[in-house]
Chains A and B, each alone.
Chain A
Amino acid sequence: MGSIERRSASWLGIAVLAMASASASGQSTEWPHYGNDQANTRYSPLTQINTGNVQNLKVVWAHSLGTLETQESSPLVVGDTLYVTSSTGPRYVFALDAKTGARKWTYQPELPSDYMATVCCGMDSRGLAVADGKVFFGRLDAKLEALDAKTGKRLWTVTIADYKKGHSITSPPLIVKDLVITGIAGGEFGIRGFVSAYKQSTGERVWRTYTIPGPGEPGNETWKEDSWKTGGGSTWGVGSYDAKRNVVYWSTSNAGPWGAHTRGTDSSDYGIYSNQWTASQLAFDADSGKIVWGYQYTPHDTWDFDGINEAVLTDLNVGGKQIPALLHADRNGFFYVLNRDTGKVVAADPFVTVNWATHVDLETGRPVEAANNEKRPQLGKWARNVCPNLIGGKNWSPMSYSAQTGLAYLPAFNMCMDIANRKEEYAPGKFYLASEFDLGKVGATGSNLGEFLAWDPVANKKVWSIEEPNMWAGGAMSTAGGLVFYGNIEGLLKAVDAKTGKVLWQFRVGTGITQSPVTYTIDGKQYLAVVAGRIKGPPSFFGALGQKMIEQSPEGGILMVFAL
């Protein structure tokens, strides 16, 4: 574990040390990126709030987000300002005094009234990015917008793609030097995914790389006929950036439509039809957008094992060897450790009940599927009791990697499904699944629908777990105070001992939490901020269990800030 801490200092180091010393001298510590750092660790070196005093946390201010429906925004703190978006559009972008909650400015994006019909899974906004005195955020009508961070005045707006064909932006862009880089959502609408980079100053596009190769490009042969045109591979999650390597890491969604009969052999024996680069991890050269390497988590996907979950970058000491690692807990139930220089898989072990594949072959890098297509739905044929189900072993709610404990913390699901492929025609702007499914099945390990767990990415095993009776548990944030924070759909925000999994403090915020909290200091005082507002879209997929989810807490929209 000690070696893991050392490596952290070696490449994240300068920023981390600067932050730690800032808080010691009574200054301020920012939370400047979605994942705090661009390695997406969601780890904070702050220690003022710790295992010894966390039970004394009190609400110091709160702010209404002004909308209902799923609140998934991860606030940023830059200088003494806290920036946060609301759901539905976003309907609002707020700049608040991070110490008092006093409003600095409010911006209301102008969205068309019909965008909601072409958004998949809830009217969410996962937040924004701040750089060079500007605020950047994506919108559900597939536009990227820049504001003046001081005044909230609009600087530019660019259309990334046509929302009427099912494109939307749900997650914040990534800041890389003078670029702002965004992914795109729409894997359930038959879009062709891409990652696009724009100049921060003007919004002018610098590069766009499609995740699905076109005719003449290597990998296009992995698609049956013209299926690449509507093949999904969207990029609706967040990217990560390794400044030393100048490489951007983005993972890609399910293949589209879900029914694999449209894209290849519709069988575990998929031959050349792996459908690159869907359900994959991609590494891009930050300046040109060229794909450096790709690794496919789920070839010829047909389970909606959407691979967009975040890539967490860290260096691990495995068997005395230092590995530049990329950690990723996939929807398909495997926790991956990849070498981020080569894209080769180092480890892939199930962190929940997995039966669609027996294991991942570390030589070929490919999952070995259950025999005789037993767990693979095919056209007109049900696959029964497939684990995990399509919400995944883990969904988008982010994990955290603690440099202090060397553990990853993540919310997981304990669920299985029945699923079958169906005939369906593509229609622009309409859901395109070619699939029928029943998600009302609890997994193999008890009646709890979810859990929050600690995973050792060196020993490749679960260290502790907290059972969550309901899905879903929210994202994780760890601190050098020996703590991990997360919330759940009942609206309980919890502080947990990062080593033991013991719950040390909890507070009821009144509506469900799916996003991870963040932490920062102003004038030497540490604050904890959480956005709450129960999810509304995904429960529809779950029938009776979905109804149970909705009963756990009302919709809402609140930012709550705590301090000692």
Chain B
Amino acid sequence: MFEKFAVTVLTVAACTSALSEVAMGDDEAARPVNPYAGDKAVAQEGASLLNQYCAHCHGQWAVQGERPRDLRRLRIRYGDDAISMFRTTVEEGRMDKGMPVWKGVLSDEVLWKIYTFLETVQAED
């Protein structure tokens, strides 16, 4: 799923106008908003929740050597779409790659706290 997405975006960026590139990204207005964005205390709580629910695949404090599972690279990989991609993947899962469906199990509050932490550990390159 990720590979297909990435190829599409690259193709669009390389071959077509800026207009269609925007159209391929998600709608900025419809992009979800993290209510805790930038809150350091929440980020700390989020680290603990990530360690409890996600670390067995994604690594303690999101430290992970397998790049496809490395959540510190969401920003590099998806740019402004990272937040939408995070929500979609967590809620719908990627069952064929081992990612369960978390909708109905983890609350919005928990998910946003985890995301708030992830925003503090995004890689530069």
B106 CB, min distance to chain A CBs, angstroms: 9
Q: Which A341-390 residues have C-beta < 8 A from chain B?
A: none
Find chain A residues with CB under 8 A from B99 CB: 117
Cβ of A541 and Cβ of B56 under 8 Å apart? yes
Smallest CB–CB gap between A351 and chain B, Å? 26
B53 touches A431 (CB 8 A): yes
Q: Are A422 and B55 in contact (CB under 8 A)?
A: no
Specify which chain A residues have a CB less than 8 angstroms from the CB of B58 in the assembled complex.
Answer: 540
Q: Tell me the chain B residues, 81-125 only, with Cβ under 8 Å from chain A.
A: 93, 95-102, 105
The CA-CA distance from A542 to B59 in the complex, in Å, is: 7
Within 8 A of A (CB), among B60-77: 60-61, 63-66, 69
| Cβ of A113 under 8 Å from chain B | yes
Total A-B pairs, Cβ < 8 A: 84
Are B100 and A429 closer than 8 Å at their CB atoms?
A: yes
Q: Which residues of B contact A114 (CB under 8 A)?
A: 95-96
From known contacts A427-B105, A438-B51, infer whether A116 and B95 are also in contact, taking CB-CB under 8 Å.
yes
A543:B61 contact, CB within 8 angstroms = yes
Q: Are A118 and B100 in contact (CB under 8 A)?
A: yes
A residues near B100, Cβ cutoff 8 Å:
117-118, 429-431
Which of B96, B99, B102 has the largest count of A CB atoms less than 10 A from its CB? B96
Cβ of A105 under 8 Å from chain B: no
B45 CB → nearest A CB, Å: 12
Evaluate contact between B105 and A546: CB separation under 8 angstroms: no
- Would you call A438 and B105 a contact (CB within 8 A)? no
Report the nearest B residue to A538, measured CB to CB.
B56
Give the total of B residues in contact with A, Cβ under 8 Å.
26
The CB with the most chain A CB atoms within 10 A, among B61, B95, B101, B102, is that of B95
In the complex, which residue of chain A has the Cβ closest to the Cβ of B94?
A117
B114 to chain A, nearest CB (A): 13
Binds B, one of A31-39, A147-155, A396-404, A547-555: A547-555
Q: Given the known A-B contacts A114-B95, A439-B60, are A541 and B105 also in contact in the complex, defined by CB atoms under 8 Å? A: no
User: In the complex, which residues of chain A have a beta carbon less than 8 angstroms from the beta carbon of B52?
Assistant: 422, 424, 433, 435-436
Report the bound CA distance from A551 to B105 in whole Å: 34
From residue A561, how far is it (CB to closest CB) to chain B in Å?
29
Across-interface contacts of A549 in B (CB, < 8 A): 65
State in angstroms the CA–CA spacing of A543 and B66 once bound together. Answer: 11
Encoded as 1 (CB less than 8 Å from any B CB) or 0, chain A from 426 to 446 comes to: 010111010111111000000
Complex CA–CA separation, A149 to B66 (angstroms): 37
Bound CA span A488–B13, Å: 44
Tell me, yes or no, whether B41 is within 8 Å of chain A by CB. no
Q: Shortest beta-carbon distance, B69 to chain A, in Å?
A: 7
When the two chains form their complex, are residues A540 and B95 in contact, meaning their CB atoms are under 8 A apart? no
Cβ contact within 8 Å between A543 and B97: no
Q: Is the C-beta of A539 less than 8 angstroms from some C-beta in chain B?
A: yes
- 8 Å CB contact of A541 from B48, B55, B95: B55
- List A residues 522-548 near B (Cβ within 8 Å): 536-537, 539-544, 546-548
| Chain A residues whose C-beta falls within 8 Å of the C-beta of B101 in the assembled complex | 117
Q: Give the chain A neighbours of B98 by CB distance below 8 A.
A: 116-117, 119, 123
Closest B residue, CB atoms, query A548? B65
A307 to B41, CA, bound (A): 38
For the complex formed, measure the closest distance between the CB of B65 and the CB atoms of chain A, giving whole angstroms: 3
A436, B48: Cβ atoms closer than 8 Å: yes
Task: Determine the distance from Cα of A114 to Cα of B63 in the docked complex, in whole angstroms.
Answer: 25
B18 at the interface (CB under 8 A from A): no
Contacts of A436 in B (CB 8 A): 48, 51-52
With A118-B100, A424-B52, A431-B53 as given contacts, are A543 and B63 in contact (CB-CB < 8 Å)? yes
Shortest CB-to-CB span from B97 to chain A, Å, is 6
Q: Is B24 interfacial (CB 8 A cutoff)?
A: no
Smallest CB separation, B71 vs chain A (Å)? 11
Known: A437-B60, A541-B59, A549-B65. 20 other contacts (CB 8 A): A114-B95, A116-B96, A116-B98, A117-B93, A118-B100, A119-B98, A424-B52, A425-B105, A427-B105, A431-B56, A431-B100, A436-B51, A438-B51, A438-B60, A539-B66, A541-B55, A542-B59, A546-B60, A547-B64, A551-B65
8 shortest interchain CB distances as A-B pairs: A543-B60, A550-B65, A114-B95, A547-B65, A116-B98, A113-B96, A543-B63, A117-B100
